[in-house]
Chains A and B, each alone.
Chain A
Amino acid sequence: MRLVTAAFCAFVALPLVWLAYAAFIPAEALVRANLATFGFSLENFAALHATGLWRAMGVSFAATGLVVAAQLAFGLGAAYAIRNGLRMLGLVMLLLALPSELLLVPLYRLLQGMALLDTIGALVVPFLASPLVVFLLLQALRRVPWEVVEAARLDGAGEVTIVHRVVAPILRPEMTATAVLAFAAHWNLVLYPRIMTTEALWTVQAFLTELLRARPFEWGLLGAAALVASLPLLVLYVAFEKRIIEVFESGFRS
Chain B
Amino acid sequence: MTARAGGRARRLAGVRPRAFALALPAALAFVTFSIVPLLAVLRYATWRWSGTTEPVAVGAANLLRLLRDDALWSSLGTTVAFALIALPAFLTLSLAIALAIEGLRLERAIKALLFAPGLITVGGSAIAWYLLYNPDFGVVPELTGLILPWTSRPWAALLYVVLFTLWQQTGYGVLVTSAALRGIPREVKEAARVDGARDDQVRRLVVIPMLAPTLLFLTIIGTVISLQSYTAVYLLTRGGPFGSTRVLGYYLYETAFERYELGYGAAITLFVLAITLLVAYLQARILARRGAAEAST
Contacts and interface: CB of A to CB of B under 8 A. Distances in A.
Interface of A: 1-2, 4-5, 8-9, 11-16, 18-19, 22, 33, 35, 73-75, 77-78, 80-82, 84-86, 88, 91-92, 95, 97-110, 112, 125-129, 131, 134, 146, 159-160, 163, 180-181, 184, 187-188, 190-191, 195, 204-205, 207-209, 212, 216, 219, 222-223, 225-227, 229-230, 233-234, 237, 241-242, 244-245, 248-250, 252-254
B26 A129 contact: yes
Contact of A77 (B23, B36, B110): B23
Contacts of A78: 22-23, 25-27
Contacts of A227: 124
16 contacts: A15-B167, A74-B26, A77-B22, A85-B20, A91-B30, A92-B30, A99-B228, A101-B229, A102-B249, A104-B252, A127-B33, A219-B131, A225-B127, A233-B120, A237-B119, A253-B179
B37 A77 contact: no
Interface stretch (B10-18, B74-82, B185-193, B239-247): B10-18
A184 B96 contact: no
Contact of B117 (A15, A128, A223): A15
Contacts of B46: none
Nearest to B13: A85
A16 B127 CA distance: 11
A47 B210 CA distance: 55
Contacts of A126: 33
B22 A35 contact: no
A97 B253 contact: no
B180 to A, nearest CB: 7
Given A5-B101, A98-B34, A184-B119, A134 B13 contact: no
A216 B130 contact: yes
Interface in B233-284: 234-235, 249, 252-253, 256-257, 262, 265-266, 269, 272-273, 276, 280
Interface of B: 13-16, 18-27, 29-30, 32-34, 36-38, 40-41, 44, 51, 93, 96-97, 99-101, 108, 110-132, 137, 139, 142-143, 167, 170-172, 175-176, 178-180, 182-183, 221, 224, 228-231, 234-235, 249, 252-253, 256-257, 262, 265-266, 269, 272-273, 276, 280
A82 B131 contact: no
Given A4-B96, A85-B16, A159-B19, A245 B121 contact: no
Q: Which 5 A-B pairs have the closest CB atoms?
A: A208-B123, A106-B37, A226-B124, A85-B15, A77-B22
B123 A248 contact: no
Question: Mostly helix, strand, loop or mixed at chain A's interface?
Answer: helix
A112 to B, nearest CB: 8
Contacts of B125: 15, 19, 226, 230
A103 B13 contact: no
A105 B121 contact: no
Given A81-B23, A84-B14, A88-B23, A15 B132 contact: yes
A93 to B, nearest CB: 11
Contacts of B262: 105, 108-109
Contacts of B175: 245, 248-249, 252
Given A4-B100, A16-B120, A208-B121, 20 more contacts: A22-B128, A80-B23, A81-B19, A88-B23, A99-B228, A101-B228, A106-B40, A107-B33, A110-B37, A129-B30, A184-B118, A191-B257, A205-B122, A205-B123, A225-B127, A226-B121, A229-B124, A249-B175, A249-B179, A253-B182
A96 B97 CA distance: 26
Contacts of B130: 212, 216, 222
B131 to A, nearest CB: 6
A4 B114 CA distance: 13
A223 B131 contact: yes
A245 B25 CA distance: 28
Contact of A242 (B16, B26, B108, B230): B108
Q: Most A CB atoms within 10 A — which of B19, B137, B172?
A: B19
Contacts of A128: 25-26, 29, 33
Contacts of B117: 12, 15-16
B102 to A, nearest CB: 10
A254 B183 contact: yes
B41 A253 contact: no
Nearest to A2: B100
Nearest to B33: A126
Given A84-B16, A98-B34, A208 B124 contact: yes
Contact of B269 (A103, A242, A252): A103
Nearest to B163: A11
A233 B14 contact: no
B23 A204 contact: no
B143 A35 contact: yes
B205 to A, nearest CB: 17
A87 to B, nearest CB: 10
B121 A233 contact: yes
A209 to B, nearest CB: 6
